[in-house]
Amino acid sequence: MVKGKGAAEVAIGEIHQQFNDTKFAAIYTGGHAKLKKASPEKQFVELMEAVHRKLGKVTDTKNTGWRINTFNLTTTVLMQQQTTFERGKGVESFTFEMDGEKAVLVGYFINSNDLILK
């Protein structure tokens, strides 16, 4: 089970690198079918563009909580990160579904006063 946490940490690092490189469509393309069903690509990319425009690049992130659930042979990993950007801070919540050894993005949420107020 903790293996899923490690895979999710790797995935978060990759997502943050793509975010910093403004490769928002690549984040979406690499996501799970459930992500694509929940949000059209244009909407997802616009959200990422807004976060990047207002907060800038990720400069640091720390895990503040995680949970792993397995139900009907499907393992879901939820990760909460306290993330510092160039121009603010936020709490990011990532949901991944395990595909073998790889954590695939299913959902992303950010809670940031800096994002709203800037």
Report the SS3 class of residue 67: strand
Report domain extents, the chain. 2-117
- Pick the residue with more confidence: 1 or 47? 47
C-alpha dihedral (104, 94, 65, 14), degrees to nearest 10: 60
Torsional sign, CA 32, 77, 64, 12? negative
Going by C-alpha positions, the residue among 7, 14, 38, 17 that lies closest to residue 108 is 38
Structure tokens at 111: 């809670």
Residue 111 has pLDDT above 60, yes or no: yes
CB atoms within 10 A of CB 77: 26
- The CATH number given to 2-117 is 3.10.450.50
Q: What is the pLDDT of residues 1-15, one digit of tens each?
A: 567 999 999 999 999
* Extended strands (E) in the chain: 58-71, 74-85, 88-99, 102-111
Give this prediction's pTM: 0.94
Phi/psi for 56 (5° steps) reads: 85, -165
